[in-house]
Structure 1
Amino acid sequence: MSFQFDHLRTLTALVDEGTFESAARRLHVTASAVSQRVRAMEQTAGKVLVQRTNPVRTTAAGDVVLRYARQVLLLDEDATTELRMGDRERGRVSVPLAVNADSLSTWFLEALTDLPADLGAVFEIHREDEEHTTSLLRSGTVMAAVTSTPEAVQGCTVAGLGALRYQAVCSPGFDEEYLCGRADPELLPYAPVVNFDRRDDLQDRFLRESGGGEPHGPRHYIPASEDFARAVLLGLGWGMVPEQRCAADVASGRLVALAPDRPVDVRLYWQRWNLRSPALDTVSEALRAGAAAHLHSL
């Protein structure tokens, strides 16, 4: 089956913008034209591609076509960029990526800044838990992702990045109030704990691996890396904080390391489309180099 190029661009705009009206403004056409193009694609595919919700959602068949559309558009942008090499006005290659919040707040952005200035890429970063970033690859929302899943998504390649190391920490005041002032990990199951969100399993994992069992204390949910670390620093609860973020505070006494010899390592992998693209190749090389400089070896 064959889809028209403009129709592929329309589908990506519709999914990115969420509504037919917003996609129409982005494409400088009418909402009716957007709807007609999508219907034409559905007739070509013989299947419904988009659920007409607000915002719109792709069906399983729509995920396949969306992934194809983004790949075609990436190749087109790559070719346009190469043809315009040396021109003053260059095209920009759009590279959507998925990354977990703690990588985003520690090493990921630094790796992106090491990219060559003439790459001409713009990034759309999707923040998602490392165990769920692969779903954005499957749906075609992103071209590559930092993930904790070593099994390659269909149509993708996978490479190890390293391990992001976490330490169990709390504030000195929290230690005095809940842990008898001796940073006793055996008391942690009954103390207040900070979780990133309801899918965050790091604190529970630490207790299981240290023999402390399941936590029974109050849980706070702070779904932002910097705010999570600040909540622990302020004594709201104990939590697992990336070693890169808490090392200085532990050294200065602002935080107490509860089990410095028992860190929790989260293995991270780089999954990307199995597609030759100068832009995606360059981004992948930079991120692997950045990970090698900041993460622990697998």
Structure 2
Amino acid sequence: MRGLDYQWLEALDTVVINGGFDKAAQVLFVTQSAVSQRIKQLEKWLAQPVLVRETPPRPTAVGRRLLGFYRRVQLLESELHPALAPDGLDAPLPVAIATNADSLATWLLPALSPLMQAGRLVLNLTVDDESRTLNRLRSGEAVAAISSEPTPMAGCISDRLGQLEYLCVASPRFIERYFPDGVHGAAMTRAPAVVFDQHDDMHGGFLAERFALSSVNWPRHVVRSSEAFVQLATQGVAYCLIPDLMIREELACGELVDLMPGQGVVRTLYWHRWALESGLLATLSQDCISHARRVLQQ
């Protein structure tokens, strides 16, 4: 029986990345019929489909697993090539990491900076809520993920990084307008908040636990940027939950005020990566884990 052909996986990957068979054929310098034939051969070998034929095509569950496998193999090859090159020159390794916005805004880039300054890697960062970043690792879109989920996927390792403490903050002007009689449930139904996206459950959980408010009972701005959270709060147009690491200066000078001292939200973060990583990828993971443990609460 013929084994798995990497040309089949290359065709699948190229179709998914480029959103169709025509563009995949152009990238691979083959005919559209050749691309289609490779996909059909892969599906015949598996006895199940790997693509949902819609516009654009998307991988099935088994297709996603194959893409994850193929992209990990590509990464290992990229890491191996410099060691085999006769001139010994190291090309930067492309590394995809799935991160939450708050880690990106606080500790992640300083952790990666030494390797980037040495010219050893180029980054492809995907930003998502920490409850969903593992999907990127599962699909092969990332080789590492920062997640609030402690349990690793099969074939992966999870290391505890530490905790981010989120404070509920607002400017003095905002407090004067929306909380003149203190912070209570009725005021929270009028005061505009900030959330990361429509799936962000942190703020809703905070209001449900502290004030028994439903998820539809309060106004919110949807802003996919941690830095913008701080700007909206300091400009006096919203209040928000934000990591204390980001606003220590604003709290110290009174530009922002902790609305509910001692009643913030704590999120524990974990670094997930494939168990077989080595070389530069292993160094990257260790640098991120060590730096996060120095910066985050333990």
TM-score, shorter chain, exceeding 0.5: yes
1:55/1:295 CA distance change after superposition, 3 Å: farther
Letter in 2 for 1:62: G
1:39/1:30 CA distance change after superposition, 3 Å: same
The answer on whether the counterparts of 1:81 and 1:93 sit within 8 Å (CA) in structure 2 is no
Could you give the per-residue CA deviations for residues 72-104 of structure 1, whole angstroms, max 9, x where no partner exists?
22222222122238534x444332211111111
Query: Secondary structure of 1:115's match?
Result: helix
Query: Secondary structure of 1:166's match?
Result: strand
Any stretches of 5+ residues in structure 2 without a counterpart? none
The answer on whether the counterparts of 2:111 and 2:287 sit within 8 Å (CA) in structure 1 is yes
Q: Which residue of 1 aligns with 2:97?
A: 97
Distance apart, 1:131 and its partner CA: 0.3
1:43/1:163 CA distance change after superposition, 3 Å: same
Distance 1:169 1:266 in 2: 17
Q: Which residue of 2 aligns with 1:113?
A: 113
The answer on whether the counterparts of 2:97 and 2:125 sit within 8 Å (CA) in structure 1 is yes
Letter in 2 for 1:195: V
Greater shift in the superposed pair: 43-52 or 263-272:
43-52
Distance 2:45 2:118 in 1: 39
Q: Do structure 1's residue 203 and structure 2's residue 203 form an aligned pair?
A: yes
Q: Which residue of 2 aligns with 1:268?
A: 269
Distance 1:25 1:240 in 2: 47
The answer on whether the counterparts of 1:186 and 1:212 sit within 8 Å (CA) in structure 2 is yes
Distance apart, 1:152 and its partner CA: 1.0
1:93/1:52 CA distance change after superposition, 3 Å: farther
Distance 2:23 2:100 in 1: 28
- TM-score, normalised to structure 1's length? 0.88
Q: Which residue of 2 aligns with 1:173?
A: 173
Distance 1:26 1:106 in 2: 38
For residues 75-94 of structure 1, the aligned pairs below 5 Å read 75-84=76-85, 87-88=88-89, 90-94=90-94
The answer on whether the counterparts of 1:183 and 1:257 sit within 8 Å (CA) in structure 2 is no
Q: Which residue of 2 aligns with 1:212?
A: 211
The answer on whether the counterparts of 2:11 and 2:39 sit within 8 Å (CA) in structure 1 is yes
Distance apart, 1:47 and its partner CA: 1.6
Aligned length: 294
The answer on whether the counterparts of 2:116 and 2:122 sit within 8 Å (CA) in structure 1 is no
Distance apart, 1:268 and its partner CA: 0.4
Identity %: 35
Could you give the per-residue CA deviations for residues 151-199 of structure 1, whole angstroms, max 9, x where no partner exists?
111221111011112110011111001111x753566533222222222
The answer on whether the counterparts of 1:189 and 1:213 sit within 8 Å (CA) in structure 2 is no
Q: Do structure 1's residue 38 and structure 2's residue 44 form an aligned pair?
A: no
Letter in 1 for 2:14: A
Letter in 1 for 2:213: E
Query: Secondary structure of 1:114's match?
Result: helix
The answer on whether the counterparts of 1:183 and 1:256 sit within 8 Å (CA) in structure 2 is no
Distance 1:108 1:39 in 2: 42
**RMSD across aligned C-alpha pairs, in angstroms?**
2.4
Instruction: Please list every run of at least 4 consecutive aligned residues from structure 1 whose deviation after the TM superposition is greater than 6 angstroms.
Output: none
1:118/1:13 CA distance change after superposition, 3 Å: farther
Q: Which residue of 2 aligns with 1:126?
A: 126
For residues 1-298 of structure 1, the aligned pairs below 5 Å read 2-84=3-85, 87-88=88-89, 90-115=90-115, 120-180=120-180, 184=183, 188-190=187-189, 191-209=191-209, 211-214=210-213, 216-297=217-298
- TM-score, normalised to structure 2's length? 0.88
Greater shift in the superposed pair: 163-172 or 46-55:
46-55
1:260/1:280 CA distance change after superposition, 3 Å: same
Distance 1:227 1:241 in 2: 10
Distance apart, 1:247 and its partner CA: 1.4
Distance apart, 1:117 and its partner CA: 5.2
